[in-house]
C-alpha cells in the first residue's frame, strides 16, 4: 500500500484530499500543527511550518509527499517585509522538507503551487505550461522560487517532482472572494456586473483532489509542471447567475462598463478586487489530460451547486 504524507492536512484542500486518499485505499499520514479530533487519518504533529521543522518522524516509511501547507495569498498584508515572510514559509520551509524527503528516499514530491506564478491576467490567450513565469506579488514570487528550488533538488537527488498550478479553487468551506460573492447573491445585493463578459478558469475542490490523486502513481507526470482547471471558463456575471440559480434566487445584476467599474475600484481603494471581478484569467489545462487521460469528474455547474449547498447549510 502506498504511504502518503499530506502537509497542510487540516486546511481547505487538505481535509478533502485526506478523505479522498483514504477512500481510495492509500495509507495517509496527515501532518498537522496540533492534534485534531475531527481529522480521522493518522496524524503526526509537526508544529508551524518553518525551515527548522523536524520531518523525520513524519517521513518514516513514506512513499509520496503531497505538500499543500503554505503561507497563502493575503488580501491585507500586515508583515513589515512580505517577501521575507512568504520566502521563509513557502521557499525555505519547502526546501527543508524536500531535502529531508530526498534523504529519506521519498520517490515523489507533489507540490501545490499557483497559477499566479504565470501572472495575474490573460489577454489574448490562456496561460499554458510553456509560458514564461510572471509572478506579480510576494506570494506568487515565493511559489515560483519554491518551484525552482524543488527542480534543483530533483536534479541533485533524483526525487520526482510534480508541480500543480491551480487557479481559484472553490468548493465546500471556501473562503475569501468566492464566499463573499455567494453572500452578496444570497442577500440579494444588486451588483453592477451585468456587462462584465470576462472569462476566468476555476477549479472545483473535488476536481483538484482527483487530479492530485491521479499524480500519486502515474508515471507520466514525473518531473512535470501542470496547469489545472475545470475545463470550462466562465464570466463573473455568468458565475453569479449560476449561484443564483442554485439558490433559487434572482440574479440582481445591473450594467456598468468594465472601465467604470475599474475607475470606481480605484476611487474606493479596491483596484485589485475589482480587477479580479472584471479581468480574464484563462488556463489551458489540456496537457494534464493528454498525459494522464484525466478528465474533471465534476462539471462547473455541479461544482457551483455543491458549493452553494454547503453555503446554505453553513450560513442559513
> Is-contact 312 247, C-beta < 8 A?
yes
Average pLDDT over residues 248-262: 90
pTM over 0.75: yes
Cα 250 from Cα 253, distance rounded (Å):
9
Q: Which domains does the chain have, with CATH numbers?
A: 3-165 (3.40.50.720)
Closest CA to 202 of 67, 310, 303, 131: 303
Q: Span 276-286, mean pLDDT?
A: 95
Longest alpha-carbon distance in the chain = 58
Decide if 139 is catalytic: yes
E strands along the chain, which residues? 3-7, 27-32, 42-45, 64-67, 108-112, 160-165, 168-170, 202-204, 225-227
Q: Examine the pLDDT at 119 and tell me if it is beyond 80.
A: yes
Q: Which of 139, 170, 226, 311 is catalytic?
A: 139
Q: Enumerate the β-bridge partners of residue 165.
A: 227
Q: Dihedral, CA atoms, 132, 135, 139, 144, nearest 10 degrees?
A: 20
For residue 245, the tally of other CB atoms under 10 A from its CB is: 16
Q: Is the pLDDT of residue 268 over 90?
A: no
Enclosing H/E stretch for 147: helix 138-157
Q: Decide if 43 contacts 36 (C-beta within 8 A).
A: yes
pLDDT of 74:
60
- Taking the C-alpha atoms of residue 212 and residue 185, their distance in angstroms, rounded to an integer, is 31
Beta bridge partners of 108: 64, 160
Alpha-carbon span 304 to 204, nearest angstrom? 8
Amino acid at each position: 500500500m502506498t504511504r502518503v504524507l499530506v502537509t497542510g492536512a487540516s486546511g481547505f484542500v487538505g481535509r478533502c484530499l485526506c478523505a479522498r486518499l483514504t477512500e481510495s485505499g492509500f495509507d495517509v499520514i496527515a501532518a498537522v500543527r496540533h492534534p485534531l479530533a475531527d481529522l480521522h487519518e493518522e496524524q503526526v504533529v509537526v508544529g508551524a511550518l518553518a525551515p527548522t521543522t523536524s520531518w523525520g518522524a513524519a517521513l518514516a516509511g513514506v512513499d509520496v509527499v503531497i505538500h499543500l501547507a503554505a503561507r497563502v495569498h493575503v488580501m491585507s498584508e500586515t508583515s513589515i517585509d512580505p517577501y521575507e515572510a512568504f520566502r521563509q514559509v513557502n521557499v525555505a520551509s519547502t526546501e527543508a522538507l524536500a531535502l529531508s524527503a530526498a534523504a529519506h528516499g521519498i520517490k515523489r514530491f507533489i507540490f501545490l503551487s499557483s497559477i499566479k506564478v504565470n501572472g495575474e491576467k490573460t489577454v489574448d490567450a490562456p496561460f499554458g505550461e510553456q509560458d514564461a513565469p510572471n509572478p506579480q506579488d510576494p506570494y506568487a514570487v515565493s511559489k515560483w522560487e519554491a518551484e525552482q528550488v524543488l527542480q534543483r533538488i530533483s536534479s541533485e537527488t533524483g526525487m520526482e517532482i510534480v508541480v500543480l498550478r491551480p487557479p481559484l479553487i472553490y468548493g465546500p468551506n471556501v473562503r475569501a472572494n468566492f464566499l463573499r460573492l455567494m453572500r452578496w447573491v444570497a442577500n440579494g445585493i444588486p451588483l453592477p456586473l451585468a456587462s462584465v463578459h470576462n472569462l476566468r478558469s476555476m477549479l472545483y475542490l473535488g476536481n483538484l483532489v482527483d487530479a492530485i490523486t491521479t499524480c500519486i502513481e502515474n508515471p507520466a507526470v514525473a518531473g512535470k509542471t501542470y496547469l489545472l482547471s475545470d475545463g470550462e471558463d466562465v464570466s463573473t456575471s455568468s458565475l453569479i447567475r449560476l449561484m443564483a440559480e442554485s439558490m433559487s434566487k434572482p440574479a440582481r445584476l445591473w450594467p456598468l462598463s468594465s472601465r467604470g467599474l475599474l475607475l470606481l475600484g480605484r476611487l474606493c481603494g479596491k483596484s485589485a478586487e475589482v480587477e479580479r471581478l472584471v479581468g480574464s484569467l484563462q488556463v489551458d489545462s489540456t496537457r494534464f489530460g493528454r498525459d494522464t487521460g484525466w478528465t474533471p469528474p465534476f462539471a462547473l455547474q455541479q461544482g457551483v451547486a455543491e458549493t452553494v449547498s454547503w453555503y446554505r447549510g453553513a450560513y442559513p
